[in-house]
Amino acid sequence: MVKSRLVIAGLIAGASAIVMPLVAAVAVQDTGLGAQDLAVLAGVIQLVRQDYVHPVGSDELVKDALKGMLNRLDPHSDYMDEQEFKDSQADTAGKFGGLGMQISEQEGVVKIIAPIDGTPAARANLEPGDAIVMVDHTSTLGVSLQKVVDQLRGDPGTKVTVTILRGKQEPFDVTLTREIIKVASVKSELKPGGVGYIRITQFGGDTSDAFKKAITDFKQSADGGVKGLVIDLRDDPGGLLSAAVDVSGDLLDGGSVVSIHGRQTEDQKTFDAPAHGDMLPGVPVVVLINGASASASEIVAGALQDRHRATIMGTQSFGKGSVQTIVPLRGHGAVRLTTALYYTPSGRSIQDDGIAPSVVVEAPKDQQISGGGLLREAALQGAFKNPGPLNRTPGTSAAPAATAQAKAAYSAPIKADLIGKPDDAQLKAALAYLDDKAQAGSTSQPQAEPK
């Protein structure tokens, strides 16, 4: 059984998080709860306060009751007390030291989903699937994920030692120095033959401008013009929804990028590309993904795949397709509640399934992380099953025509320190694919009609 929550031990803004203004804080009103339900809850709290073997304050009991209620809904809903909420805001503002990795919990063991390029976690060669069994020589087994995150956080410049269990290897210690996680989210390089390579490590506030600049620089530097583009989203855990929409819009002329759908009217939204947004019209594009490509990465891959603007290569993505809304509770922290799901332009839900590559390219065994398979959204306790496409007629096939040739492929990701390097076999395959298209004289991919 997987008891899991996703928490960022560092600075990442979630693509799935929508923050409601403080004036929208939950107030006591007609909740639809019966007096008997409330009486049972109050009665149990009173029983624990009165008869439990150790004294427990009512505030702690209420906090734990809220956490328990929300944690049982799905892997991403949660309650944050006032201090946790303040810490999360300070973290987003870059005021806390972190390690730069996304972590989760499986069977009571904390595991790394993905380290972020250029951070302490990546420089220490920590890998997706690594289990953090101790922090500063204290066991993490059975410790809540939030408490482990608190142990990993600290003042920039201070050190923390984590004990790592990787596959069948003996546990080993890694000492890291905490720092403010402010990493350039876009790295670019013009490859031989006029092929541009853009690596997006996470979707942050600088991603949109940096992506545009990279393409502009390619167009100015490439003799004979840009012949192809590789967008590398491997090990990219996500980020800002707005950045994902902007990046997709830089390669599309109008039409849908992504839509979100929930129970409430305000949770029904469609995000479109600019009418004349494509900066590289007619230039073939490859998007590389793997099992650690999540959320915003999946939005970009899904949009460009559905719109027939890019060939998706690699292995199946993570499958995080839900939207969380942050609702502040005045003076009492905040609720993080799943309120909607993401859908690609053709109406596919990203949730659970993720994005399947059109061309499967697995990393060679000697380039794969040694820990083996990667934890995916589907394995998390309470994760939603894929609901099927929008407006699906009962009894019809769930496979949209736009992705009929996409294939599910699950395998261990490539080692993080190989991504984008000369020996990177998956990148070589993407460059060879674009070279073959150029040799064949096929230098364009038709876009689907805007929706």
Supply the residues annotated as catalytic: 295, 306, 320
Burial of 125 (0-12, 13-18, 19+ CB in 10 A): middle
Phi-psi region of 218 (alpha: psi -120 to 50; beta: other; left: phi over 0): alpha
Q: What is the 3-state secondary structure (H, E, C) of the chain?
A: CCCCCCEEECCCCCCCEEECCHHHCCCCCCCCCCHHHHHHHHHHHHHHHHHCCCCCCHHHHHHHHHHHHHHCCCCCCEEECHHHHHHHHHHHCCCCEECCEEEEEECCEEEEEEECCCCHHHHCCCCCCCEEEEECCEECCCCCHHHHHHHHCECCCCEEEEEEECCCCCCEEEEEECECCCCCCEEEEEECCCEEEEEECCECCCHHHHHHHHHHHHHHHCCCCCCEEEEECCCCCCECHHHHHHHHHCCCCCCEEEEEEECCHHHCEEEECCCCCCCCCCCCEEEEECCCCCCHHHHHHHHHHHCCCCEEEECCCCCCCEEEEEEECCCCCEEEEEEEEEECCCCCECCCCCCCCCEECCCCHHHECCCCCCCCHHHCCCCCCCCCCCCCCCCCCCCCHHHCCCCCCCCCCECHHHCCCCCCHHHHHHHHHHHHHHHHCCCCCCCCCCC
Task: Give the Cα separation of 101 and 165 in Å (integer).
Answer: 16
Phi-psi region of 48 (alpha: psi -120 to 50; beta: other; left: phi over 0): alpha
